[in-house]
A and B are shown apart, each in its own frame.
Chain A
Amino acid sequence: MATLEQSAENAGINEAGVRRRDFINIAAVSFAGVGAGTALIPLVNQMNPSADVLAMASIEVDISAIQPGQAIKTMWRKQPMFIRNLTAAEIAAAEKVDVATLRDPQTLEERTKEGKRNWLITKGVCTHLGCVPLGAGEGEVKGEFGGYFCPCHGSYYDTAARIRKGPAPKNLEVPEYSFTSDTVVQIG
């Protein structure tokens, strides 16, 4: 009996000793794990846009030379931008559409500025897979809805640059912009 008791007692001591030791080891390994994990943050974050890329200035564009029915392409944040001076007919065509039938329902009013309905400013990036749609350049195909046509996979945009047919899920994106005067628009 005595031996049994003794060994049980020893086992108890050992168990406590083992537990304490395990605790230290687990704590040390977890600490190292947390440290390694934290060290990963800058290693991953460095791939994000650097300060000079983020600081890319907003651009100012002089639109005085764009006649109704014409459009220009310009570059903002390394992406094409379309600035289009809509004709009265194009505005009317865009306003006639029943918004409820659209894939991405938006009115022309929502996509242009008050009192500047004729100025349609969008990114020139198809919302399907990022090609540059046709229709801004002189003589380019505008597609059956008279706006833009993306030749990569056949997306058709109307005169408010809304998606009407084809695989693109969204309307062409309207960036943040404002008119600094009647002839100068600031994008970004």
Chain B
Amino acid sequence: MVRLIALVIGLFFSGWLIVSAALGGAAYIAEPPAKTVEAAFHEHPKHVSFSFDGPFGKYDRAQLQRGFQVYKEVCSACHGLGQVAFRDLQDLGYSEAAVKKIAADWVNEVPSVDPATGEAATRKALPTDKIQGPYPNEIAARAANNNALPPDLSLIAKSRHNGPAYIYSLLTGYQAQPAALLKQFPDAKTPESLHYNPYFANLNLAMPAPLTSDGQVTYADGNPKPTLDQMSKDVSAFLYWAAEPKLENRHRTGLGVLIFLLLATGLAFMSYKSIWADKKH
């Protein structure tokens, strides 16, 4: 009885699936879906190597400081870094006093209340505060940006596939829409308010190229040269640190744990073999 019911159910599910596949397949062959402009022109991130790649990767403190400078002078005009506190910047090699100064000098003040009247006010940031973006809320952010929302950048490097390479590619990928694209897809012209970038999923994004020329940011020691390429790379590294600040600790701990486990497992294997030595199995 069980087997009979099973047979009926099996025939129904399998049969209907085969019918569905045939119908779908026929439609697919009769009317193959048109190739989309994204499928044709979207590009995967460029290959770029960072000091933190690989199992032994470490951050390059000087690069992170340069990247922070790019974030501070360019990105922070629109984007917050809401999961990162100023105190975390000590990890970049800044002293406690330097962090205090960075916080106090930060353009976007922290929402607070007036201690005398209790009315809403702002105060200077302290090292314990999170790094604020310029907008108090989403509506203000959209209103100032033609209804586009500049996302918080704390986790941007982990919320995109191959994050650091993606950010680097996006920053260096702005270009005029290729003539070939318009020839193949005449309707896909980039709208007036958007900007063409083949590394962006739907090819057109609201953010105008933030880094436009070499030397846009002046690096303190003038070395390396702040080329567009260098600045993009530095800020990508900084944003990866912002998303994964414990990477070095993780790599170091992991190495120790692995060495220990290899030894322990080797011993466990010898122990297993010796216990079974007189048993055929």
Contact = CB atoms under 8 A, between A and B. Distances in A.
Note whether A and B contact each other (Cβ less than 8 A). Answer: yes
A21 B127 contact: no
Looking at chain B's contact residues, the main secondary structure is helix
Interface string A35-63: 10010000000000001100111000000
Contact of A28 (B85, B127, B261, B264): B264
Interface residues of B, number: 16
In this complex, which of A24, A35, A51 has the most chain B Cβ atoms within 10 angstroms of its Cβ?
A24
A25 B271 contact: yes
A31 interface: yes
A32 interface: yes
B260 A35 contact: yes
Interface residues of A, number: 16
Contact of A57 (B126, B264, B277): B126
A188 to B, nearest CB: 12
Given A28-B267, A55-B87, A57-B128, A21 B274 contact: yes
A35 B265 CA distance: 11
Nearest to A31: B264
Looking at chain A's contact residues, the main secondary structure is helix
Nearest to A42: B253
Nearest to B100: A57
Given A21-B275, A28-B270, A55-B85, 17 more contacts: A20-B274, A21-B274, A21-B277, A24-B271, A24-B274, A25-B271, A25-B275, A27-B271, A28-B264, A29-B271, A31-B263, A31-B268, A35-B260, A35-B261, A35-B264, A57-B126, A57-B127
25 contacts: A21-B274, A21-B277, A24-B271, A25-B274, A25-B275, A27-B267, A27-B271, A28-B264, A28-B267, A28-B268, A28-B271, A29-B271, A31-B263, A31-B264, A31-B267, A32-B268, A35-B261, A35-B264, A38-B260, A51-B87, A55-B87, A55-B128, A56-B128, A57-B127, A57-B128
